[in-house]
Amino acid sequence: EVQLVQSGAEVKKPGESLKISCKGSGYSFTNYWIGWVRQMPGKGLEWMGIIYPDDSDTRYSPSFQGQVTISADKSISTAYLQWSSLKASDTAMYYCACGSNSGRFDYWGQGTLVAVSS
Amino acid sequence: QSALTQPASVSGSPGQSITISCTGTSSDVGGYNYVSWYQQHPGKAPKLIIYDVSDRPSGVSNRFSGSKSGNTASLTISGLQAEDEADYYCSSYISSGVFGGGTKLAVL
């Protein structure tokens, strides 16, 4: 059974750094793209970026390029989403999801809630 | 990349059919057949229901179907059921991805 298990909820202050994780199991982690999707409170889904764990080929949405860093450690089947300096506007639910090279997301994690407030 | 355009809401009665449109440009929806649709119930993670314009993942009801004409993709749900009440999002991918703004489906 394919599973993506994300790290727990985070409460941070503006300016702090953060790295959340997504561990895959039940499939060949290196052969599927893993992406990150933001959902701000009461809003729609936003495509942030994807990474191919086998060679770390990474593609960002222009909206998120330079704002976050996506990485993966294939030795432990885990992908990451990282911020160097959080803003209040980063408050959202963040989902990881995996899928094929047609850009679809077949399987989703349970989501990680990030709250940023002073 | 601008978000794809979806109607904010649609509604239908049990047993009826509804169609949700998803309009983009020749640089996304119209460019390739990489259009996906997702269903999201409140408080839950999204679920893939259509990929590559019209293919259904294993286990997804055949009441869900997808199509595309030019720069507009469409999701049709036939035989509406109460459990179909959810938010629906289209997505397109060409080197980078984009979602539609989402459509809230009410089953009256």
pLDDT tens for A56-112 read 999 999 999 999 999 999 999 999 999 999 999 999 999 999 998 778 999 999 999
Predicted pLDDT of residue A103: 84
CA distances from B89 to A23, A70, A116 (A): 25, 23, 26
CA distances from B67 to A101, B5, B49, B56, B94 (A): 20, 16, 13, 12, 18
Predicted pLDDT of residue A14: 98
* Residues of chain A that touch chain B, judged by Cβ-Cβ distance less than 8 Å: 35, 37, 44-47, 49-50, 59-63, 95, 97, 99, 102-106, 108-111
Q: Give A95's contacts (C-beta < 8 A, 6+ positions apart).
A: A6, A36, A37, A38, A39, A45, A108, A109, A111, A112, B45, B46
The encoded tokens of residue A65 equal 């390029």
Predicted pLDDT of residue B76: 98
Predicted pLDDT of residue A102: 76
Predicted pLDDT of residue B44: 98
Predicted pLDDT of residue A101: 75
Of all residues in chain B, the one with the smallest CA distance to A105 is B48
Task: Name the pLDDT band for B106 (thresholds 50, 70, 90).
Answer: very high
Of B92, B88, B73, B74, give the one whose Cα is nearest residue B34. Answer: B92
Which amino acid appears at position B3 of this protein? A
When scoring A6, A43, A47 by the number of chain B Cβ atoms within 10 A, the one with the most, hence best to mutate, is A47
The mean pLDDT of A11-33, rounded to a whole number, is: 96
Per residue in A34-72, pLDDT (tens digit) is 999 999 999 999 999 999 999 999 999 999 999 999 999
Predicted pLDDT of residue B95: 79
Residues of A in contact with B96 (CB under 8 A): 47, 49, 59-62
Predicted pLDDT of residue B71: 95
pLDDT, averaged across chain B: 95
B104 touches chain A (CB under 8 A): no
Per residue in B38-90, pLDDT (tens digit) is 999 999 999 999 999 999 999 999 999 999 999 999 999 999 999 999 999 99
Predicted pLDDT of residue A84: 98
Predicted pLDDT of residue B85: 98
